[in-house]
Amino acid sequence: MKKILLACAVFTVGFWVPDANAQDVDINILRDTAAVEIGLPGNILVTICNVDPNEGLEAPANKLRPLISVSPIVEIIGAVNLDNSPLTNWKIVSQDAESIMLLNTVPLPNAECFSFYVVVKGKTESDTKVVTATLGFQGPQTPGNLTGNDNSTTGVKVRPPLPVTLVSFAAVREGQASMLRWSTSEEVNSDYFEVQHSTDAKKWAKLGEVRSHGESRALRHYSFTHENPAAGDNFYRLKMVDIDETFAYSRIRRLGFDAAHMLSVTTFPNPVSDELVIDHHDWASVTGLSLFDKSGKKIASQAQTASNVLDVSSFSSGAYVLQIAHKDGSVLSRKILIVH
């Protein structure tokens, strides 16, 4: 991050006064993974900040035009928000395999930053090559901009695919906890999975480790429960570590928690033998129900109906997870026990 030095020089004829309309904006890029695998995606974190010392001055919309350029060892496939949702606050002006130019669609307030990922895909195995970012402007640059912080570099390395092939990674709400489930189709010299958590998709903390099978060519299933997620957004990713300590990260998954919403959904009776009642504060928002057995296999599903009663009489006794899908894309899980 560039450092800003503010100086005031006093002369016999007067003194210098900063431009009252100045807006100084800087750009920084950072690779999000140690290396990108051939044929798989990786992220380059781009952060653009309004660092002008004059409080209250924003950089206007349709003014900031960052250009990110990469080496031919990777190709650019797009840009997304930090939670991998479609890009907001920016539009793509131009894009090819080795460069992408964007333009801000909303103002950038003073002392705030916009961050997003440029997504690349590994093409050719290689040691680290330079990635560059240049902050340009639509029309004249903002008054008072310091050009010394309009450029940033990072590096990207491409390696062969890791021994672990991750075929799925999902995060669902289960009561007031986060349930993470993932599956691998092949493991060679794999050591463990480190489960990581963040509330902003920038600063990550280790939640725990799950040992892998080490050597496997069968479909393997794993799970991890985060018992005390934060209110609001929770981001999760896996750090997949090999025996020789090489590693890669999974894609990021996001869950949102609203305590009032979570407590407003109950299922009863539990244990249940024939009919399960789903007491939901807003049944009209429900789009469907899915029932999973203890191995994570979906055994039943149905679209939302007028009835909030689910017939479970035909299912074998045992522990199950009921997932309730909503129109806003959220999925809520409840553990149930069927006893006959």
Of the candidates 109, 139, 159, which is a domain's last residue? 159
Per-residue pLDDT, 259: 54
Find the helix or strand (DSSP H, E) in which 259 lies: helix 259-263
Instruction: Please answer whether residues 224 and 210 qualify as being in contact, where contact means their C-beta atoms are separated by less than 8 angstroms.
Output: yes
Contact between residue 320 and residue 270 where contact means Cβ atoms under 8 Å apart: no
Q: Is the pLDDT assigned to residue 69 strictly greater than 70?
A: yes
Q: Considering the domain boundaries, does residue 3 fall inside one?
A: no
pTM over 0.85: no
pLDDT at 257 over 50: yes
Q: What is the mean pLDDT of residues 38-57?
A: 84
**Lowest mean per-residue pLDDT among 3-17, 221-235, 282-296, 322-336:** 3-17
Per-residue pLDDT band for 256 (boundaries 50, 70, 90) equals: confident
Identity of the highest mean pLDDT range in 67-76, 193-202, 245-254, 325-334: 67-76
Query: What is the pLDDT at residue 306?
Result: 66
Beta strands 165-174 and 331-338 are: parallel
Count CB neighbours of 52 within 10 A: 26
Is 172 contained in some domain? yes
Domain boundary among 205, 229, 257: 257
Single-letter code of the amino acid located at 38? I
pLDDT above 70: residue 21: no
Work out the widest C-alpha separation in the chain, in whole angstroms.
Answer: 95
CATH number of residue 77's parent domain? 2.60.40.1510
Over residues 81-109, the pLDDT tens digits come to: 998 899 999 999 999 999 999 999 999 99
Task: Give the pLDDT of residue 305.
Answer: 65
Which residues does 169 contact at the CB level (< 8 Å), separation at least 6? 180, 181, 182, 238, 250, 251, 253
- Asked if residue 127 belongs to a domain, the reply is yes
Closest CA to 99 of 124, 133, 63: 133
For residue 289, pLDDT beyond 70: yes
**How confident is the model at residue 101, as a pLDDT?**
98
**Given this model, what pLDDT does residue 55 score?**
65
The pLDDT value recorded for residue 228 is 79
Do 210 and 108 share a domain, yes or no? Answer: no
Counting the structural domains of the chain, the total is 3
Residues 239 and 135 in one domain: no
Please report the pLDDT score of residue 56 as a whole number: 64
* Model confidence pLDDT, tens digit, residues 116-165: 999 999 999 999 999 999 999 999 887 778 888 899 999 999 987 766 88
Q: Judge if 154 and 81 occupy the same domain.
A: yes
Are 32 and 91 in a shared domain?
yes
Which of 257, 288, 321 lies at the terminal end of a domain, its last residue?
Answer: 257
Report if residue 2 sits inside a domain: no
Which pLDDT band, with edges at 50, 70 and 90, does 340 fall under? Answer: confident
Find residue 75's DSSP bridge partners: 121
The domain of 321 spans 264-338
Q: Exposed, middle or buried: residue 212 (CB in 10 Å: 0-12, 13-18, 19+)?
A: buried
- Band (pLDDT 50/70/90 cuts) for residue 202 is confident
Same domain, 131 and 64: yes
Q: Is the pLDDT of residue 290 over 80?
A: yes
Residues 249 and 268 in one domain: no
